[in-house]
Amino acid sequence: MDKIRVIRFEYGDAFFNMALDEAIMRAVGGGMSPPTLRIYGWDPPAVSVGYFQELKEEIDLEFCHDRKIQMVRRLSGGGAVLHTPKELTYSFSVRVDDPLVPQDVQGSYMKICAPIVSALRKLGVEANFRPINDIEVARRKVSGSAQTRRFGAVLQHGTILLGMDYSLLPALKTRPEKLAEKGVRDVRDRITTIGELLRREVKQSEFEDLLIRSFAAHFQASVEETKLCGMEELIPALEERYKSAEWTFRR
Amino acid sequence: MERSVARKFRDGKMVKVWVKSDGGSIKEIRITGDFFAHPEEGIELIERELRDVKIVEVRRALESASGGITLIGVSIEDLIDMIEECLE
pLDDT attached to residue A181? 40
pLDDT attached to residue A112? 97
Q: How far apart are CA A9 and CA A6, in angstroms?
A: 9
For residue A90, being part of any structural domain is answered with yes
Question: Inter-chain contact B35–A77, Cβ cutoff 8 Å?
Answer: yes
CATH for B8:
3.30.390.50
Residue range(s) defining the domain that contains residue B42? 2-87
Residue range(s) defining the domain that contains residue A209? 3-241
Summarised one tens digit per residue, pLDDT across range B20-68 is: 999 889 999 999 999 999 999 999 999 999 999 999 999 999 999 888 8
Q: What total of structural domains would you count in chain B? A: 1
B39 touches chain A (CB under 8 A): yes
Tell me the one-letter amino acid at A207.
Answer: F
Q: What total of structural domains would you count in chain A? A: 1
Residues of chain A with pLDDT under 50: 180-184
Q: What is the ipTM of this complex?
A: 0.93
Summarised one tens digit per residue, pLDDT across range A181-193 is: 434 457 778 899 9
For residue A246, being part of any structural domain is answered with no
B8 touches chain A (CB under 8 A): yes
Residue of B nearest to A178 (CA): B12
DSSP-based three-state secondary structure for A209: helix
Least CB–CB distance from A54: residue in B8, B32, B73: B32
Contacts of residues A219-222 at CB distance under 8 Å and 24 or more positions apart, as own/partner, are A219/A1, A219/A4, A219/A35, A219/A100, A219/A115, A220/A1, A221/A1, A221/A2, A221/A3, A221/A4, A221/A35, A222/A2, A222/A3, A222/A4
CATH for A219:
3.30.930.10
pLDDT attached to residue A187? 74
pLDDT attached to residue A175? 62
- For residue B71, give Cα distances in angstroms to A106, A168, B15, B68: 11, 32, 12, 10
Question: Inter-chain contact A105–B12, Cβ cutoff 8 Å?
Answer: no
Q: Sort out which chain A residues have CB atoms less than 8 A from B37's CB and list them.
A: 52, 77
